A and B are shown apart, each in its own frame.
Chain A
Amino acid sequence: MTVEQIVSETKDQFPIGMRVLAVDDDPTCLLLLETLLRRCQYHVTTTSQAITALKMLRENKNKFDLVISDVHMPDMDGFKLLELVGLEMDLPVIMLSANGDTKLVMKGITHGACDYLLKPVRIEELKNIWQHVVRRKKFDRKVRSNSDSQDKPHADSGEAAGIGKADNNVKINKKRKDQNEDEDEDLDENGHDNDDPSAQKKPRVVWSVELHRKFVAAVNQLGIEKAVPKKILELMNVEKLTRENVASHLQKFRLYLKRISCVANQQANMAAAVGTADSSYLRMGSLNGLGNFHALSGTDQLHNAAFRSFPPSGVLGRLNTPAGLGIRGLPSPGTIQLGHVQNSGHSSNDQSKLQSFIPGNHNTNILQGMPMSLDLDQLQNNKGVSHIGELPAANSTAVFPVSGSLIDSRIAGFSNNPLLGVTSNSLMLEGSSQQANLHASNLRDGVSAVGFQNGNTLSNFASIDPVSSQLRDSKADLQGQAAPINCNAGPMIRSVPPQEWNAPRKDAPYQSHLMSSSVNSSIPVNGAMVQLDQCLDRNNSIFHRTMDSDSIGPLNFVDPLSIKHGEGLNSAAMEPPVIEKEGYLMYQLRPHGNHIPDNIGSLEDLASAMMK
């Protein structure tokens, strides 16, 4: 079948009627562009503001097929918009500029643009832009087909490296029968494909929070350097997820981590300030983060909303702070670290830490106390532990931020640990959201909340049952807010380009988006947990446990489990989850071969880095 045939199956008239969103602050150019596009028989929507464009896109992901945007805009950098759209909505974006410098074009490519056009635009060029939509669709379809792709041997080690979408497109050589897209059943905003390939409108893998968590866990387990799509796919063990999906996602994730790593430094400082809450801290963070995640996953909107709400909460606020935001995608590196921290190194401590860790309550306090200790680099439990004690009282938010920071630092530490970045964010996010909700319930709840991140997940928290219920409630709150976080930290990371795409929101909003998009409305905690389990395995038994309880799966970073621990779950149950989380987190943070010594180590390092 040719592309045209495939396309026509889904949309007879395509490319006629293709829905384009045009963004350009120059009214002359915008009018010209609009007219040209109309002449090509596309359906055009225009706006002169990037923020408005984002809003429109977020309202309904299925409303547009393609975005064309100018590079120089007053309210938001075109590249930032590009990244955000790519991460959140996974739509093809074409950049437009009067400046054709190679550097700029390269920048466009690295940020994920499918094409770069020079002004004044010619109609001949616009007549062909539909190819980008088709290419993506085709790819998605294939990618989503099923997991058979895993069997396909290919040199993916290199591909993930930076090929990104383009690569994926290229890989779509084989036409697989289209099957339902990835397993994110809950996330269905995009109208995932159904069984009938030809009926697929927009085959796109939606990286729900849970899925993302699995992804992060897998990457952590493999180590960021050795994480190749094929192995990740195997580890994730998700049906109908293809290697291309993973490869594309991995690429984004890596970009994200890189971005975060810059920010992480800032975080590190923050983390340092926080103090020792290293592992426990991380745990908390993670838990919180996770919690948020779930909340985030709820729905995009939810996420967004949740996300936004984050900032207000203590944690979020933290997150938004440079340290927190540093990670860009990572809501609170510190938080992530928490989770990790625990795993690394102090397994034994972890538990204790976790418990004490749950400081989360204090928004800032926690962070302060904790991050410092968290010191990712050293992440050695001690720090975290000490803090944890303090934290408990504090609002979870505090904890989270720290985590974030920790994570940030961590991230800084290993720039190449994309996961870290991600995790922290997730953690952070969760933390933030959770904090808002959790604080009251206390970390414990938070922890549990983390467990059930999406709100639903809490229930999953088997280990933390008692806590989880509490968390659940809090989680619910968080969800609204945090939701974004859970969503796949990965995407977040990406989206969280250092550029501060969303000035106002900073990471939070971004993350939320990420999360929301990735996280299906309810990420079954258990599911996530399970994954974590697999991944974390190494950390310790507890770790596993937490995994189970926490479906936080996708959220690598935020291991709700860890948070649980941190929270000072007084109950043993708490511990395990935490540990798991840590392990989970650890994965994320731990890039293979990176400084992250162990699951926890990485977190700790991250935390410490962040704190510093």
Chain B
Amino acid sequence: MERNPLRRQLQIMRKSLFDQGYLDEQFVQLEELQDDSNPNFVEEVVTLYYRDSARLILNIEQALERKPYNFHKLDAYMHQFKGSSSSIGAKKVKAESTLFREYCKSGNGEGCMRCFQQLKKEYATLRKKLEAYFQVARQAGPMETACRPK
């Protein structure tokens, strides 16, 4: 356990993110790639993700406003979104993406819509949590090593 209170707090936050299923193993990979030569890698990637995926979310939203739904297009967008989300280890968001794609494949428009609303919620929640996490991280200073979640 970290003696430094900030570090301790950071560890707790991190653990909770994993325990609650917001993040998965992939996030650890990101952390492992962070080193002295690349000290803010994780935050950079996550920031990039949120910036780029905002565009995809918008596309999907717009597509969902046009009836009848173009499932093929929706699926394509979501496929891309899923790829990005899985790259940063956004576990819940990824799960919702998978579900959305299932609905697309079966042509379930309502299912898609519901799923998408849930997805946006998870997406926003994760964002807030990560932002808080990074804030503490910046204050706490560089972490020594990435700890694997239990």
Binding site for B on A (CB under 8 A): 26-29, 31-32, 35-36, 39, 72, 97-99, 119-120, 122-123
Chain B CB count within 10 A is highest, among A35, A72, A97, for A35
- Please state if B29 and A122 are interface contacts (CB–CB under 8 Å): yes
- The answer to whether residues A26 and B33 also contact, given A72-B76, A99-B79 and a CB cut-off of 8 A, is no
Number of chain B residues whose Cβ lies closer than 8 Å to a Cβ of chain A = 23
Segment of B41-49, B114-122, B128-136 in the binding face: B41-49
Quick check: B26 and A120 within 8 Å, CB to CB?
A: yes
Partner of B33, one of A35, A98, A99: A35
Given contacts A28-B45, A32-B33, A97-B83, 12 further A-B contacts (CB under 8 A): A26-B87, A28-B49, A28-B84, A29-B87, A32-B88, A35-B38, A35-B41, A98-B83, A120-B29, A120-B86, A120-B89, A123-B29
Enumerate chain B residues within 8 angstroms of A27, measured Cβ to Cβ.
Answer: 48, 52
CA distance A26 to B49 in the complex (A): 9
Q: Is the CB of A98 within 8 A of B41?
A: no
CB distance from A99 to the nearest CB of B (A): 6
Residues of B within 8 A of A36 (CB): 29, 33
B30 within 8 A of A: yes
Q: Are B29 and A31 in contact (CB under 8 A)?
A: no
Chain B residues within an 8 Å CB radius of A97: 83
Residue from A31, A97, A120, A122 having most chain B Cβ neighbours under 10 A: A120
Q: Tell me, yes or no, whether B92 is within 8 Å of chain A by CB.
A: no
> In B79-131, which residues have CB < 8 Å from any A CB?
79-80, 82-84, 86-89
State the majority secondary structure of interface residues on B: helix
Give 20 CB contacts A-B under 8 Å.
Answer: A26-B87, A27-B52, A28-B45, A28-B49, A28-B87, A28-B88, A29-B83, A32-B33, A32-B87, A32-B88, A35-B33, A39-B33, A72-B79, A97-B83, A99-B79, A119-B87, A120-B83, A122-B29, A123-B32, A123-B33
In the complex, what residues of A have CB within 8 A of residue B32's CB?
Answer: 123
* Distance, CA A32 to CA B88, complexed state (A): 8
Assess whether B38 is in contact with A26, with CB atoms less than 8 Å apart: no
Contacts of A32 in B (CB 8 A): 30, 33, 45, 87-88
Among residues of A, the one whose C-beta sits closest to the C-beta of B83 is A98
Given known contacts A98-B82, A120-B87, is B44 in contact with A31 (CB within 8 Å)? yes
Instruction: Give Cα A151–Cα B7 distance, bound, in whole angstroms.
Output: 69
Which residues of chain B in 19-57 are interfacial with respect to chain A, using CB atoms and an 8 Å cutoff? 26, 29-30, 32-33, 38, 41, 44-45, 48-49, 52-53
